[in-house]
Structure 1
Amino acid sequence: MNRPFRFGVTAGYAPSRADWITTARRAEELGYSTLLIPDRTTVGISAPLIALAIAAEATTTLHVGSYVLCNEYRHPVILAREAATLDLLSEGRFELGLGAGVSAFEFQRMGIPFASAGTRVERLEESIQILKLLFTQETVNFTGKHYTISEMKGQIKPVQQPHLPILVAGAGERMLKLAAREANSIAIGLKITGHGVDPTDATLEQKIAWIKEAAGERFANLELSQ
């Protein structure tokens, strides 16, 4: 399957409502498909879901997306409600980007335990499974290693079905294979070395190979980005 290229633009700081609306409308006028906001707590980034709701209201065709929400900051039941509401109010223009969280500094500043990478990936995988259930099922029960959901009913459903487009960002083998199994889009992180970012072709080729291996027949329908 040949997918058309899409171009998104990342922004994060909204000094005022007027400035933020201007940014969103300008992105739409320039032909970008999606306006994306990261989820950072220490660098003056606006609250993603609130800012995205304003951007969606100010535009008509522009998709809005998180790039990416840290799974450790939100329980999946709360996130499902907020994401489905944003998709409903934007008439199907929200794209949900998720990650396991990589900034130990931010966790430490907030007093949140920074679990091992393996634990954070496990939680993200369970969270995505719960989100999909809440987006599609009327009654949800889930028992995992990290989350337990009992008789959740009456949850808001997104406009986009069977569920919201889910983007997962990752750089390591385990994260990329999780993304290959569960996501619609994958943001492939670059390798970070002691000398900075190493965007070598060999590294990227290896990451794509991991994705292909885990995705199987799904690979043809996956959207890849950096």
Structure 2
Amino acid sequence: MSQDKSTKKFMFGVVVRKADSGKAWAERARLVEQSGFTTLLMPDHFVGPRFAPIAALSAAAAATSTLRIGTLVFSNDYRHPVVLGKELATLDVLSDGRLDVGLGTGWMREDYDRAGLSFDPPKVRFDRFVESLDVLRGVWGEGAFSYNGQYYQLDELVQEPKPVQKPYPKFLFPGGGPKMLKLAGRYANYVNLTLRVRADGTAPDAKDGGLESFLGKIETIRESAGARFDDIAIGTSIQEVGIPQSKESWSAVDLSQQEETPQILRGDVSEMVDKLRYWRDTHGLNFFVLHNDKDLETFIPVVEKLAGE
């Protein structure tokens, strides 16, 4: 099912992983802000050349005044939600309420193996993630909070500071598998449509690609969200823009199967703008995230054309 969602304004994020110095990091954040992006986002992995997100997001917030900051996404298994809740409430205060909380189950097997963490079955990781959402909302609320879940137990915890945003910061969920998509429809403020991850955590599932699967995920969110569908900013990560310069890929998946989706933007600025307008006006997608800030120069003219439209 398609319907006109042109009333949704475009929003743009970009994933920035690191810089050579604090000064360079601040300059990057200011460039993102000045170019019309809504949000600077960071991944959360132990493996690879990436800054730790909480410290780096604090620095990005200090260097900017309107740019939102967030993650794509925190891995739930890496931090107890009480610890994460305290850190994020502090970050929301220090950023004057500009924090978006991207949170997922955790998926990349290499992170777990190299850090000596147990890589539990998908159902366990998902159920623990759902409990973490309960805990985060609880510790961000007023008064003492108790919780008696399978994975987390809290006893009359009063945690301060509280977030500036009320009742709490907005949640960004990844949207790959049906369980996460349905949960996102109920609770998320932003959804980033992704390929479903293989159960062994080694890569996205190649069987999940293509236009039909992508459209089906939008409908799953629509069915779960009901009346709140129009209030959710739905989009995806743009993996390739303009004319590709190499065959380098972000994953083991052949991205050629995603050509018909907005994850691949080919052509000049006007062609990329037209494709994003189509996806916004026809399918309600309005939050697009540039996956690699190395493509900023190519993508900034697109953002300048569409930001706030």
- Structure 2 length-normalised TM: 0.70
State the one-letter code of the partner of 2:82: V
8 Å contact kept, 1:66–1:97 = yes
State how far apart, in whole Å, the 1-side matches of 2:45 and 2:141 are. Answer: 29
Q: Which of residues 16, 19, 27 in structure 2 aligns to 1:22?
A: 27
Q: Distance in 1 between matches of 2:151 and 2:30?
A: 41
d(CA) in 1 for partners of 2:146 and 2:193? 32
d(CA) in 1 for partners of 2:64, 2:206: 42
Contact 2:140 2:159 in 1 (8 A): no
Higher mean C-alpha displacement, 85-94 vs 131-140: 131-140
Task: Find the counterpart in structure 2 of residue 47 from structure 1.
Answer: 52
User: Per-residue deviation at 1:193?
Assistant: 4.0
Distance 2:157 2:122 in 1: 29
What letter corresponds to residue 142 of structure 2 in structure 1? Q
Give yes or no for the alignment of 1:82 onto 2:87. yes
CA–CA distance in 2 between the matches of 1:135 and 1:193?
A: 35
Counterpart in the other structure of 2:230: 220
Which residue is 1:93 aligned to?
98
Match of 1:152 in 2: 157
In the aligned structure 2, how far is the partner of 1:14 from the partner of 1:124? 30
Match for residue 201 of structure 1? Answer: 211
Structure 1: distance between partners of 2:18 and 2:152? 33
CA deviations 1:199-221 (Å, max 9, x no partner) are x2210121112112222222121
CA distance in 2, matches of 1:167, 1:90: 17
| Whole-angstrom distance in 2 between the partners of 1:120 and 1:52 | 25
Displacement of 1:194: 4.2
Number of matched pairs: 224
Q: Quote the residue 2:194 is aligned against.
A: 189
Confirm or deny that 1:134 pairs with 2:139.
yes
Q: Give the aligned residue type for 1:15.
A: D
Contact 1:62 1:93 in 2 (8 A): yes
8 Å CA contact 1:128–1:182 kept in 2: the answer is no
For 1:54-88, what per-residue CA distance to the aligned partner results, in whole angstroms no more than 9, with x for missing partners?
A: 00001111111111000000111111110010010
**TM-score normalised by the chain length of structure 1:** 0.94
Q: Deviations over 1:149-189 (max 9, x none)?
A: 11101422111111101101130001111122121111111
Q: Which moved more, 1:67-76 or 1:182-191?
A: 182-191
Residue segments in structure 2 that go unaligned for 5+ positions in a row: 197-203, 237-309
Q: Which amino acid aligns with 2:101?
A: L
Q: What code does the residue aligned with 2:170 have?
A: P
For 1:40 and 1:15, how far apart are their aligned partners in 2?
A: 19
Structure 1 stretches of 5 or more lacking a match? none
Query: Could you tell me the percent identity over the aligned residues?
Result: 38
Is the CA contact (8 Å cut-off) linking 1:138 and 1:155 kept in structure 2?
no
Between the aligned partners of 1:110 and 1:39, the Cα distance in structure 2 is 13
Question: Which residue is equivalent to 1:169?
Answer: 174
SS in 2 for 1:54: helix
